[in-house]
Structure 1
Amino acid sequence: MGAPVRARRHSPPTRHGPEHRHHQQPRLPGRPRQAPPPDRRFHELREQAGLPHVTIHDLRHLAATLALEGNVPMTVISKTLRHSTLSTTANIYSHLTWDVAMAAVHTIEARLCLVEARAQYGADALANSTPPPNPLFSHAA
């Protein structure tokens, strides 16, 4: 004959809805109680502060975007995000690299114009001049 039929374990009914999303499962004997998800406290604080809904993952993307715009090398960003490959990071944030590349081009252009002006008019004539700030990297913009 066939294998013996085992009795099924019946688990308590689960509750659905936002008020029960972080319901803790009962602790098994000899096992530590699971900590609540870290985002629960984050969302409590965010709501108390009256801030709009953002996720921790949204903040992760924001941090990576700000780092990229701040000229942090893509390899450092990739390691910080703990991506398994650099190409993962590059694929996700490649749309931002164009803006950063253009900012670099404008910075180089401004420096070359300054060098050219100093060569033409003398180093002392433009000693105190600096290129205009790049709005992408300027906190004043």
Structure 2
Amino acid sequence: MQSIRTIALKHIGAPIGPQEAYLLQRGLRTLALRMDAHLAGAAQVAAFLAKHPAVAKVIYPGLADDPGHTTLAETVGAYGGMVSIELSGGFTRAARFLDKLHLFTQAVSLGDLESLACHPASTTHAAMSVNLSP
């Protein structure tokens, strides 16, 4: 039989060390400012991409034509920092686009200190079926 401690470690992980706790506490002081900048940056990127001729679709709830825009505006008041796009030209165009990025790192993580970009259909979602309708 597993101890409560072993079960807890499996579900919530080990406690952080004192240095990590200090850095976390210190970082919380500027979190609101950093989040404001994060949200503003995402909105600017989405607006720019929505006007770009090579972009077929921008998926970002901060754009007025997004299906979730009104609901988020009325309830949350913010739209998040993730922007998704569909490029005209398929995978070849997407790969070329990703390879030419300078300010974004190609990675498949949702949480990092830098701006990330990836092609989910060939990375994180590669094993999923194309047809997701019921």
Structure showing the higher strand proportion among its residues: 2
Q: Which TM-score band applies after superposition, normalised by the shorter structure? A: under 0.3
Q: In terms of Rg, which structure is larger?
A: 1
Scaled by the length of structure 2, the TM-score of the pair is 0.25
Scaled by the length of structure 1, the TM-score of the pair is 0.24
Structure showing the higher helix proportion among its residues: 1
